Amino acid sequence: MGKPVLPSSLLGAFLFFTCIGNLYPGVALANSVTRHYKFNIRMKNVTRLCGTKSVTTVNGKFPGPRVLAREGDRVVIKVVNHVSNNITIHWHGIRQLRTGWADGPAYITQCPIQTGQSYVYNFTIVGQRGTLWYHAHISWIRATLYGPIIILPRKNESYPFVKPYKEVPIMLGEWWKADTEAVVNQAIQTGAGPNNSDSYTINGFPGPSKNCSSNETYRLKVKPGKTYLLRLINAALNDELFFKIANHTFTVVDADASYVKPFETDTIFIAPGQTSNILLKTKNHLSDDTKFLIAVRPYSTAAPGTFDNTTLFGLLEYHGINNINTNITTSINALAVPPLPPINATGYVANWTNQLRSLANSQFPATVPQTIQRRFFFTVGLGTNPCPKNQTCQGPTNATKFAASVNNVSFVMPTTALLQAHYFRQWKGVYTTDFPNNPLVRFNYTGTPPNNTMVTNGTRMAVLPFNTSVELVMQGTSILGAENHPFHLHGFNFFVVGQGSGNFNSSTDPLEFNLVDPVERNTVGVPSGGWVAIRFRADNPGVWLMHCHIEIHITWGLRMAWLVMDGKLPNQRLPPPPADLPKC
């Protein structure tokens, strides 16, 4: 097993490192250094798909610059807001052990950073290595404000797989020609689904869909006979995606910055919010002009027309090609399109996710809670709210707007940060602690939907004593159509101990739970027309959002929050907020 290779192009994002020599390959990193970055949030004109628009960026980059650290490092990131919108940034997947003030979701752990203001996010990376990412966590600003977090193993520790020749972040996203804030505001106003994106993107590039965008094709340049570590991230707002390279296979070695038992596949399935490290072994003895198509296409069980059903193409190019911008559309048209699973391939997705298993060895144990203290059963899915008086809505009926809920509670965003209200005991009128442990009304969740599709609305949290072992079953519903819902839990990793189709059977399904080597994740899909079971230990005091990572579903209220109480010992309690915590 080889030592990790530092990426060759390192980070235009940082202000400085404690040890400046740590920035460059070949220079040894000290143990547990503090790494300082400065993120200037600015508008930037970006041209894609024959049009130019001003988008929100970090340091003028789209996608944003890399954050690089080693396991155990402290990361200090000063975010300065130079745009007219309020801003927060979430460090997706970072455990934030006792640093909940740095988690980032607006009005959950902090008030937003207002125009002209700044906030310093300060956290330590504990027990994690792999690929995570950061993104704006307010409205739909994350459409362009996102970037990779690369966590290398500690110094003198190696990957538990072959040493890669090179490491490449691959961020999948979406691009709208329109202003995404206008897109979501229109959807909120009308109560309808949002306008679809115009293209998917690879590292910000939408591919050669039009003559004027022929130079907007992502190219992954490789050499023959080498192993590349692709750090794959789904930063798309509203779609789960398949990723494939023609005539090549991958070895999956990591999911959500947790190592997995390696397995081979020719197609990657990845939901919004999820990350995966995959090894690509290039072919031997290919000529310098050899190219293969990279293809990205959505997975969805939604009705046709309610999602972007386009296919994105990029290029895998073997090293040595000259004039790579010449006749790119023609050359792509001449290449074989790799066969992808059907758009609604629910069975394929279930089989794919079932292959993921933790390493579960002495070095990387799977610490699955074996004894459970609290059990929860949550239904998740879409529903409706009534249309306001004297208004015509465009939801499922003219009298309704689309909504979404967990246990029929559609989350109402507070105007005071929940963590702040909790810490200062000023919770009255901000939130309640009566989130239901089970659905208040039982029905055939995946069968014929009930006549009443209305949801309730509120800011309600579920309370957990410190160190509680939790089992949560999330059951998908078919009230307004069955969909896969990628749920992200802030502040924790969890173990995916079971999943299945249809309605969860509390008598028989737990007998099949994997309590030995289940995959450890921070984002998991609640299967379309099915259920998923997770376990975690509530060892991180604070307020932690849990939500579907499909952005329109978040907008409609498909989220809730856990309130994890302090423990008895000093190191089990949430510290006071930093002095520069933004004010509402």
Domain coverage including residue 259:
161-322+338-358
Q: Is the pLDDT of residue 169 over 60?
A: yes
Please state, in angstroms and rounded to a whole number, the distance separating the CA atoms of residues 90 and 103: 6
pLDDT band at 464 (very low <50, low <70, confident <90, very high): very high
For residues 154 and 165, membership in a common domain is answered with: no
Is the separation of the CB atoms in 287 and 318 below 8 Å?
Answer: yes
Q: Answer with the one of 96, 124, 158 that is the final residue of a domain.
A: 158
Tell me if 3 is assigned to some domain.
no
Q: Taking residues 227-243, what's their average pLDDT?
A: 98
The 3-state DSSP class for residue 508 equals: coil
Rounded CA separation 348/109 (Å) = 37
Q: Is residue 569 part of a domain?
A: no
Burial label, 45 (beta-carbon count in 10 A; 0-12, 13-18, 19+): exposed
- Do 111 and 52 sit in the same domain of this protein? yes
Please give the Cα distance from 448 to 467 (Å, whole number): 39
Q: What's residue 6's pLDDT?
A: 41
pLDDT at 8: 37
Q: Determine contact, residues 558/380, Cβ cutoff 8 Å.
A: yes
CA–CA distance, 52 with 213 (Å, rounded to integer): 12
Q: Rounded to an integer, what distance in angstroms lies between the CA atom of residue 342 and that of residue 296? A: 12
152 and 173 both lie in a single domain: no
Average pLDDT rounded to a whole number, residues 331-336: 82
First to last CA, the chain: 50
Say whether both 274 and 318 belong to one domain: yes
Q: Which helix (H) or strand (E) holds 112?
A: none
Do 450 and 468 lie in one domain? The reply is: yes
**Per-residue pLDDT band at 371 (split at 50, 70, 90):** very high
- Quick one: 431 and 472 in the same domain? yes
Confidence of residue 14 (pLDDT cuts 50, 70, 90): very low
Q: What is the DSSP letter of 567?
A: -
Q: What are phi and psi of 22, to 5 degrees?
A: -70, -10
Helices (H), 491-571: 551-555
Tell me which residue of 167, 268, 262 sits closest to 220, measured CA to CA. Answer: 167
Contact, 525 vs 270, CB < 8 A? no
Output the pLDDT for position 210: 62
Q: Are 165 and 83 part of one and the same domain?
A: no
Computed over its alpha carbons, how large is the radius of gyration of the chain? Answer: 23
The angle formed by the CA atoms of residues 459, 463 and 465, to the nearest 5 degrees, is 160
DSSP string, 205-222: B--SSSGGGTT---EEEE
CB of 264 within 8 A of CB of 251? yes
Query: Is the alpha carbon torsion for 255, 259, 260, 264 positive or negative?
Result: positive
Same domain, 380 and 483: yes
According to the model, what pLDDT value does residue 262 have? 98
Integer Cα distance of 577 and 418 in angstroms: 13
- Is 304 among the domain residues? yes
CA atoms within 13 A on the CB side of 237: 30
414 with 317, same domain: the answer is: no
pTM, 2 dp: 0.93
Q: Which of 324-328, 337-341, 450-454 has the lowest mean pLDDT?
A: 324-328
DSSP 8-state secondary structure symbol assigned to residue 239: -
As a whole number, mean pLDDT of residues 220-240 equals 97
**4 versus 537: which is more confidently predicted?**
537
pLDDT at 44 over 90: yes
In the prediction, which pLDDT does 334 show?
A: 86
Same domain, 395 and 415: yes
Number of folded domains in the chain?
3
Is residue 152 included in any domain, yes or no? Answer: yes
The region of weakest confidence among 56-70, 284-298, 361-375 is 284-298
The predicted pLDDT at position 23 comes to: 33
Query: What is the structure's pLDDT at 372?
Result: 98
Same-domain check for residues 419 and 543: yes
Least confident of 256-260, 285-289, 529-533, 580-584: 285-289
Q: Let me know if residue 11 belongs to a domain.
A: no
d(CA 125, CA 554): 27
Query: What is the tens place of the pLDDT at every residue in 284-333?
Result: 978 778 999 999 999 999 876 789 999 999 999 998 544 444 455 556 77
| Domain co-membership, 49 together with 123 | yes
Q: Is the peptide bond before 63 cis (omega within 30 degrees of 0)?
A: yes
Q: For all residues of the chain together, what is the average pLDDT? A: 92
User: Is 546 part of any domain?
Assistant: yes
Any domain includes 327:
no
pLDDT at residue 9, as a whole number: 37
Helix and strand element counts for the chain (H, E) = 5, 33
Least confident among 8-22, 163-177, 284-298: 8-22
For residue 398, pLDDT beyond 80: yes
Average pLDDT over residues 218-227: 96
State pLDDT tens for residues 103-157: 999 999 999 999 999 999 999 999 999 999 999 999 999 999 999 999 999 999 9
Percent of the chain with pLDDT over 90: 87
> 22 pLDDT exceeds 80?
no
> Does a structural domain hold residue 168?
yes
Record the tokens describing residue 250, joined without a space: 């991958």
Domain boundary among 133, 158, 183: 158
Average pLDDT over residues 473-497: 97
For residue 213, the model assigns a pLDDT of 63
Task: Give the model's pLDDT for residue 329.
Answer: 54
Of the listed ranges 2-16, 255-269, 412-426, 566-580, the one predicted with least confidence: 2-16
CATH of the domain at 444: 2.60.40.420
Which of these, 315, 325, 304, 322, lies nearest to 215 by C-alpha position?
Answer: 325
Pairing of strands 409-411, 456-458: parallel
